[in-house]
Amino acid sequence: MVGQPPNRELDSLMEKQAEDARNFKNKYAIEIADVKKSFDGKEFVLQGIDLKIPKGEITVIIGYSGTGKSVLLKHILGLLKPSSGSIKVLGEEIADKDVEELTKLRQNYGMLFQYAALFDDMTAVENVMFPLKEHRRDYSKAKMLEIARERLKDSGLDEKHFNKLPAEMSGGMRKRVGLARALALDPAILIYDEPTTGLDPVLTEMVDNLIVSTHNLKKGTTSIVVSHDLFAAFRIADHVAMLDSGKVLLFGTPDDFLKSDIDLVKRFVSKGVRRELQPKDGESQKDVSSRE
């Protein structure tokens, strides 16, 4: 295990929470049943979402822009309350939890958004220490520093950049720092909202690979990635859920998507394939598979 010698006693209740969450025995990390959400009481953004997210695997949520992907994530994070329906995280109903309980719940999550949103006046290592200072007040400074350095290494940042400010780093390095910060509290569930939107193909591939390698760092980690990029979904997903108009249109393996008879899925797939998989002039199919 990274960051923690295996036989050191768990010296914090919160470390135990992280362990328990990863060892949670249910097949699903998150169970969403008939969740509806209206902001104005008239139009429903979520129109009855049913979705079970398998524990320990990577699920990618895809769909056109404006179909409710981010709104759904905010419900999973407990940042929005459903108008009706049930959301269970690691077996616990969260729809009716109060602020204090939700704060505790959120320690199960690590989040990486489109813009890593680092603190500009903090170095890489200070950025990663930030959540530890907030939530692990029983830790010594030395321990926080040790954890932060481990997480940065896990995210593939070279040690020589640890004391740099965001402005002194490339986009790729900043993503790694953002990921390291998401990992700071040793979360059982990793959530990414459009992590590669706006990135060039090389950086997109780096981040996709990073999502997979981070997922594999610790057994039992559940990863949820929201993307409008079907090609990425096919590369990294164990399961794909496609949202359309506030409902789950299809949940299945990437293969299920390729074989689907649903019109909109077929269109989304062919669009993704046309855009991403057709060889360009002078490029072989092998170049295509390593592209992106």
Ligand X SMILES: Nc1ncnc2c1ncn2[C@@H]1O[C@H](COP(=O)(O)OP(=O)(O)O)[C@@H](O)[C@H]1O
Min dist CB 40 to ligand X, Å, is 7
**Binding of residue 17 to Mg ion (CB under 5 A):** no
Partner from Mg ion, ligand X, none binding residue 67, C-beta < 5-8 Å depending on class: ligand X
Q: Which helix (H) or strand (E) holds 243?
A: strand 239-244
Q: Could you give the residue ranges of the DSSP H alpha helices within the chain?
A: 13-23, 69-76, 99-106, 124-135, 141-154, 171-183, 201-215, 230-236, 254-259, 263-277, 285-290
d(C-alpha 116, C-alpha 186), whole Å? 18
Among 20-28, 68-76, 127-135, 207-215, the segment contacting Mg ion (CB under 5 A): 68-76
Min dist CB 215 to ligand X, Å, is 22
Min dist CB 26 to ligand X, Å, is 26
CA angle 198, 201, 203 (to 5 degrees): 75
Partner from Mg ion, ligand X, none binding residue 127, C-beta < 5-8 Å depending on class: none
Give 66 or 91: the residue with its C-beta nearer to ligand X: 66
Min dist CB 273 to ligand X, Å, is 21
**Binding of residue 70 to Mg ion (CB under 5 A):** yes
Which residues are at the interface with ligand X (CB under 6 A)? 39, 45, 63, 65-71
**Binding of residue 196 to Mg ion (CB under 5 A):** no
d(C-alpha 159, C-alpha 61), whole Å? 34
R_g over Cα of the chain: 19
d(C-alpha 151, C-alpha 131), whole Å? 12
Min dist CB 228 to ligand X, Å, is 7
**How many angstroms separate the first and last alpha carbons of the chain?**
31
CB atoms within 10 A of CB 106: 18
Give 95 or 145: the residue with its C-beta nearer to ligand X: 95
**Binding of residue 67 to Mg ion (CB under 5 A):** no
Min dist CB 104 to ligand X, Å, is 24
Give 14 or 49: the residue with its C-beta nearer to ligand X: 49
By CB under 5 A, name the binding residues for Mg ion.
69-70
